[in-house]
């Protein structure tokens, strides 16, 4: 089931869009806090976003840019303005389509289905992300985002974070981590794993993620 996130502050229109497209079997969510759209986006992890341009706090172009820093998920813009400049801005910011208000729900639905076909025709989930404690791991490009800052990760750093974030709240043994990193748990120095974990922690602390990964003595590591 495709998940669609509606970013529209007109509650009546938002409900109408949600009711109509949910009849076609889509899972629907709408933004509640327009001051922190990025967190709700990350928690829901949609396959497509319907984004109004005129929003409280920051406009849709701003939030499109923030989303593009972590995800290639398709975005359809909604706007009561139909100037060429708005359309050009929408495309330049990474939008996939543009619908002018007022619009026919049938037209919007057709555009949604067309964008989903183009994006996921080969079964690739281009918007796959994992969120933990405000940090967002992008599975597609192997990067981490926190407080609107993108952090490049090494192959091993990505593997460790992927393992920890998928298992948030669970202790991951050192043996399991070594199997993930080196496909074995033998002939690898215990110190080698410690060095890798400490380097990752330093990189996280540099962007404000202190105590993101904690040590459980004689057991392993975890994200609490």
Tell me: the pLDDT tens digits for 168-214? Answer: 999 999 888 988 887 655 546 678 889 999 999 999 999 999 999 99
- Taken in order 63, 77, 70, 1, the sign of the CA dihedral is positive
Instruction: Give the pLDDT band of residue 122 (cuts 50, 70, 90).
Output: very low
On the question of a cis peptide bond just before residue 102, with omega within 30 degrees of 0, the verdict is yes
**Terminal-to-terminal C-alpha distance of the chain:** 30
Token pair listed for 44: 């829901």
143 has which bridge partners? 138, 152
- In the Cβ-directed half-sphere of 59, how many Cα atoms lie within 13 Å? 10
CA separation, residue 73 to residues 154, 168, 185, 214 (Å): 24, 24, 37, 32
Task: Give the integer Cα–Cα distance in Å for 42 and 56.
Answer: 19
Topology (CATH level 3) of domain 3-120: Rossmann fold (3.40.50)
H helices within the chain, ranges in order?
A: 11-22, 37-44, 60-68, 84-92, 105-120, 155-166, 174-182, 190-205
Contacts of 43 (CB under 8 A, 6+ apart): 131
Token pair listed for 177: 């981590």
CATH for 129-222, options being 1.10.10.10, 1.10.1380.10, 3.30.420.40, 3.20.10.10:
1.10.10.10
Task: Give the integer Cα–Cα distance in Å for 20 and 15.
Answer: 8
Task: Give the integer Cα–Cα distance in Å for 44 and 122.
Answer: 22
- Domains 3-120 and 129-222 equal at CATH topology level: no
pTM score of the predicted model? 0.60
pLDDT tens for 26-61 read 999 999 999 989 999 999 999 999 999 999 989 999
Q: Is the pLDDT of residue 67 over 80?
A: yes
Element (H, E) at 75: strand 75-79
User: What was the pLDDT predicted at 192?
Assistant: 85
Instruction: Give the pLDDT band of residue 150 (cuts 50, 70, 90).
Output: confident
User: What was the pLDDT predicted at 185?
Assistant: 52
Where in the chain are the domains?
A: 3-120, 129-222
Token pair listed for 146: 């926190």
pLDDT tens for 107-116 read 898 889 888 8
């Amino acid at each position: 089931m495709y998940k669609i996130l509606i970013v529209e502050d007109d509650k009546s229109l938002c409900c109408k869009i949600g009711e109509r497209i949910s009849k076609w079997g889509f899972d629907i969510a709408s933004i509640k806090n327009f001051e922190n759209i990025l967190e709700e986006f990350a928690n829901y992890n949609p396959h497509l976003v319907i984004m109004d341009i005129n929003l409280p706090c920051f406009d849709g172009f701003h939030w499109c840019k923030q989303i593009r820093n972590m995800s290639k998920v398709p975005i359809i813009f909604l706007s009561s303005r139909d100037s060429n400049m708005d359309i050009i801005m929408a495309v330049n910011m990474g939008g996939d389509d543009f619908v002018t208000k007022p619009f026919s729900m049938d037209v919007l639905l057709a555009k949604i289905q067309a964008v989903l076909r183009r994006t996921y025709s080969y079964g690739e989930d281009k918007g796959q992300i994992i969120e933990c404690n405000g940090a967002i791991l992008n599975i597609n490009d192997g990067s981490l985002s926190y407080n609107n800052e993108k952090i490049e990760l090494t192959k091993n750093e990505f593997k460790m974070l992927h393992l920890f974030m998928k298992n948030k709240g669970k202790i991951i043994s050192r043996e399991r981590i070594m199997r993930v990193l080196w496909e074995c748990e033998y002939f690898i120095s215990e110190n080698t794993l410690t060095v890798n974990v400490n380097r990752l922690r330093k990189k996280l602390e540099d962007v404000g993620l202190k105590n993101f990964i904690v040590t459980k003595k004689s057991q392993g590591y975890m994200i609490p």
